[in-house]
Amino acid sequence: MINKILSIVSILFTLASCTTLTSAQWSLSDDGTLTLKDNIQAINLDEYPWHRYRSKINRIVISEGVTTIGSGAFADCPSLKSITFPSTLTRIEYLAFYNCHNLHSPSFNSKLTYIGREAFGECHSIDTLIITASIDSIMPEAFTMCTGIQHIEVDADNNNYDSRDNCNAIIDKSDNSLMLGCRNTKIPHGISSICYSAFQCSRIKGHIVLPEGLTEIREMAFYKCSGITSVTLPNTLVEIAEEAFYGCDSITSITIPSSTSTIGERAFANCNSLTTINVDRANSTFDSRNNCNAIIHTATNTLVAGCNYSTIPSDVTTIGKSAFFESKKMTEIALPDNITAIASGAFSGCEHLASITLPQNLRRINFGLFDNCKSLASISIPDSVKVIDDFAFIGCSAINNITIPSGVDSIGGYYIFSDCSALSSVTIHSSIPPVLTDHNGPPFRGTVKTTLYVPSESIDLYKKAEYWGNFKRIKPIKAQQ
């Protein structure tokens, strides 16, 4: 992480009058106290004199006169427990204290106005957060994954934010959006949206009731909130954004209200206790026809979200992008022949999927379709398929053999069958070697013992073809029989 920070930012402090930092302006004592002294102005990140000692820093004292703590200034200080801020401080920038796991609850001064993105991200030991009246800008993810927070309070005189009704959350007054919650948050009435990453990895638990009037749940709002067992969505909800409930693996059922018209990718992915998905019958955009335990876009007959226990209705024609992403308890699923398209990553991460029969009208195996399906031992690619995209079968470590029909004329070369460690043979029926569209990622990495079987009359063509000629064993198909 520290290298990432070094590449992103170049200035630590923008402060008073000096242009360099001398050894007389900072000190690190034997007890781990880092003291920044008077007359500090600006310094490039590659000049941080304390970076080499960051594992020893357990306390920081910043002198009066400092107005800004710059981007990444004290990130990745694993032993840091406390900070003394000067009364002159007005800004804490991006990643300033990121990943300081042992940092206790900071006490903000009365002049602080700005807290940057991820400024206190992954500071797991913060348990109390007091937002002073002067703070008027809190950037998204400022306190992301601060999993220890139990109490949030906003000063009653703050003009931009509040924690109305002692809700233990930060509410943006300008649009009544909930910016940050914690394990003890009681989501109040009157909010319009739950912001990006508001509860990400928080320890909120039990049954969650989202109030009427709420229209939007934004990206990753409840990402990996494993303690939530059920959630009641309001009849005013219009949008559930991408990964809104990703990884909420204690939720057992969900009902989509009639008002919801937008559901983002992976909204309920990796919710592996989810057994029941219903859509209100009055919903004009989505349905869960035939008790299929899935969400189907009605107008296009596209299944947009499923679970381990979904059954796919016969009139579904498309499986949407990441529709079954990381359905880790799924072992098999039947795909009706009406299906003509399966979007990228639809079954990615289904690590116990052992059997699947692809529909006979499928024309393309899309990007990452079976990525990391570790239990998939065999698969039959239909004759209708013309294209196999990058990453399609990467990490399918149980697959023993692959047969590519003669109609396939384009194969994504980027890691397509990489790490298929059990792959002993690849059979290609095309007399002309299929085009590999990208060679930057080895398509068969980790499959050095694989034998390539091709039509006998085409062996020389394959031996001379770009990439295919790298196979050490190329044999005629008849020799395989």
How would DSSP label each residue in 43-106?
EEGGG-TTGGGGGG--EEEE-TT--EEPTTTTTT-TT--EEE--TT--EE-TTTTTT-TT----
User: Three-state DSSP class for 262?
Assistant: strand
pLDDT of residue 22: 62
Provide the mean pLDDT of the chain: 90
479 domain-assigned: no
pLDDT of residue 38: 67
187 domain-assigned: no
In this structure, are residues 343 and 368 in contact, taking their beta carbons and an 8 Å threshold?
Answer: no
Q: Which band of pLDDT confidence, cut at 50, 70 and 90, is reported for residue 290?
A: very high
CATH code for the domain of 44: 3.80.10
94 domain-assigned: yes
362 domain-assigned: no
> How many angstroms separate the CA atoms of 353 and 71, rounded?
44
> How many angstroms separate the CA atoms of 11 and 33, rounded?
22
39 domain-assigned: yes
- Tens-digit pLDDT profile for residues 205-254: 999 999 999 999 999 999 999 999 999 999 999 999 999 999 999 999 99
17 domain-assigned: yes
194 domain-assigned: no
User: How many CA atoms lie within 13 Å of 284's alpha carbon, on the beta-carbon side?
Assistant: 2
Q: Say how many domains are in the chain.
A: 1
Q: Per DSSP, which regions of 76-214 are E strands?
A: 82-84, 91-92, 114-115, 128-131, 137-138, 151-154, 161-162, 170-172, 177-180, 193-194, 206-209
Indicate the range of 13-22, 104-113, 169-178, 225-234 predicted with least confidence: 13-22
Q: 164 pLDDT exceeds 90?
A: yes
Question: Which token pair is 296?
Answer: 């189907």
Q: Give the DSSP H or E segment for 478.
A: helix 477-480
Q: 383 pLDDT exceeds 90?
A: yes
- Tens-digit pLDDT profile for residues 55-107: 999 999 988 888 888 888 899 999 999 999 999 999 999 999 999 999 999 99
61 domain-assigned: yes
Q: Which band of pLDDT confidence, cut at 50, 70 and 90, is reported for residue 417?
A: confident
- Tens-digit pLDDT profile for residues 312-328: 999 999 999 999 999 99
Domain that holds residue 30: 1-126
In this structure, are residues 353 and 347 in contact, taking their beta carbons and an 8 Å threshold?
Answer: yes
Mean pLDDT value across residues 31-41:
79
Q: Which residue has the tokens 């927070």?
A: 149
Mean pLDDT value across residues 353-380:
94
Is the pTM higher than 0.75?
yes
